[in-house]
Amino acid sequence: MASSAVRGTGSGAARSGPGRAGLLPVRAALPSGAARLVDDYERHLRSERGLSDHTIRAYVGDVVSLLGFLHGVGSEGADAAQADHTSDHGDRARSVAAGRTGLDGLDGLDVGVLRAWLAGQRSAGRSRTTLARRAASARVFTAWAHRQGVLATDPGSRLVAPRAHRKLPGVLRPEQAGEVLKASGTGAAEEAPAALRDHATLELLYATGIRVSELCGLDLGDVDYERRVVRVLGKGNKERMVPFGQPAERAVRRWVEHGRPALAAETSGAALFLGVRGRRVDPRTVRRVVHDAVESVPGAADMGPHGLRHSAATHLLEGGADLRSVQELLGHATLATTQLYTHVTVERLKAIHDRTHPRAQ
Cα–Cα distance, 333 to 328 (Å, whole number): 9
Q: Are residues 184 and 58 in the same domain?
A: no
Q: Are residues 152 and 183 in the same domain?
A: no
For residue 60, pLDDT beyond 80: yes
Q: Can 332 be counted among the known catalytic residues?
A: yes
More confident site: 4 or 141:
141
Residue 166 lies in a domain: no
Res 29: pLDDT: 86
Q: Can 211 be counted among the known catalytic residues?
A: yes
Tell me how far CA of residue 267 lies from CA of 87, 274, 275, 281, 334, in angstroms.
Answer: 55, 10, 11, 11, 37
Q: Are residues 73 and 204 in the same domain?
A: no
Q: Are residues 239 and 113 in the same domain?
A: no
Sheet holding 229-233, edge to edge: 223-224, 229-233, 239-243
Q: Are residues 215 and 146 in the same domain?
A: no
Residue 163 lies in a domain: no
Mean model confidence pLDDT for the chain = 81
Residue 164 lies in a domain: no
Choose the catalytic residue: 126, 211, 260, 315.
211
**Domains: count for the chain:** 2
More confident site: 74 or 300:
300
Choose the catalytic residue: 158, 235, 240, 279.
235
Res 196: pLDDT: 97
Q: Are residues 178 and 310 in the same domain?
A: yes
Tell me how far CA of residue 152 lies from CA of 122, 136, 356, in angstroms.
Answer: 28, 20, 62
Find the mean pLDDT for residues 213-239. Answer: 91
Q: Can 306 be counted among the known catalytic residues?
A: yes
Residue 165 lies in a domain: no
Indicate the length of the chain as a whole number: 361
Find the mean pLDDT for residues 73-87. Answer: 46
Q: Are residues 311 and 198 in the same domain?
A: yes
Q: What is the pTM of this model?
A: 0.61
User: How far does Cα 166 stand from its chain's mean position?
Assistant: 15
Residue 180, phi then psi, degrees to nearest 5: -60, -45
Q: What is the pLDDT of residues 302-357, one digit of tens each?
A: 899 988 988 998 888 888 888 788 888 888 777 776 777 666 666 666 666 677 77
Choose the catalytic residue: 20, 133, 139, 309.
309
Q: Can 139 be counted among the known catalytic residues?
A: no
Range of the domain at 97: 4-158
Choose the catalytic residue: 46, 279, 291, 306.
306
Q: Are residues 53 and 200 in the same domain?
A: no
Q: Are residues 82 and 109 in the same domain?
A: yes
Q: Can 309 be counted among the known catalytic residues?
A: yes
